[in-house]
Amino acid sequence: MTTRTKALVWAACAVAVLFCAVAGRVYWLARQDDSLRYAASRDAALAAGRERIAELNTLDVKNIDSGLGLWLHASTGALHDKLAATRATDRTTLTKAGTSARGTVTDAALTALDYRAGTAALIATVKVAVTPRGGTATTDRKRFTATLARTREGWKVTALSAVPVGKEGA
């Protein structure tokens, strides 16, 4: 091996080591970047919020206990406590009404997120297909604000409020 070849091999090795060091440093900095954790938390809260709001707007009259259980699974805190306390009354009222509903979130966005505290606020538009007993299905559009909390089982709804839709020209 000539002196020139040895020098080129050493130079190539030095460049490779330098590249690995720079790439490792960039990777380490990216892993420490707080904005990545924030973005992951934001995406998880939004996805779970969409799913939970749809669940809270869905009920099959043929499987009321399952639907009420899904409502409890989708909620936590004060909302969960309220749903649990009124479950028997809700079962009776919903059975008597005989109406099924299927909610689909058409759009949603987080309006606030504190990923360290595990809280978020969300707005959503929901298309609700309502089918009365023996009747024809109708579709209603609703808007909601929701407060979410991160639990061991993921993000759940702690408060859900309907947003009134304004009248045209008002």
* 1 domain residue, yes or no: no
CB 126 within 8 A of CB 57: yes
Flag whether 86 is in a domain: yes
- pLDDT of res. 81: 97
How far apart CA 64 and CA 67 sit, in angstroms, is 5
Q: Residue 56: which CATH number?
A: 3.10.450.230
| Domain-embedded: residue 5 | no
Q: Which domain range does residue 150 map to? A: 33-162
Q: How confident is the model at residue 166 (pLDDT cuts 50, 70, 90)?
A: low
Strands 138-151 and 119-131: antiparallel
pLDDT tens by residue, 85-94: 999 999 999 9
Domain membership flag for residue 13:
no
pLDDT digits (tens, 9 = 90+) for 135-156: 888 999 999 999 999 999 999 9
Average pLDDT over residues 92-117: 94
Cα separations (Å) of 169 from 146, 165, 166? Answer: 27, 12, 9
- Asked if residue 89 is part of any domain, the answer here is yes
pLDDT at residue 76, as a whole number:
97
Which of 26-40, 68-82, 118-132 shows the lowest per-residue confidence on average (mean pLDDT)?
Answer: 26-40
Q: Which two tokens stand for residue 138?
A: 């109708």
Residue recorded with tokens 């330098």: 18
Total domain count for the chain? 1
Please indicate, yes or no, if residue 136 is contained in any of the structural domains.
Answer: yes
Strands 119-131 and 100-114: antiparallel
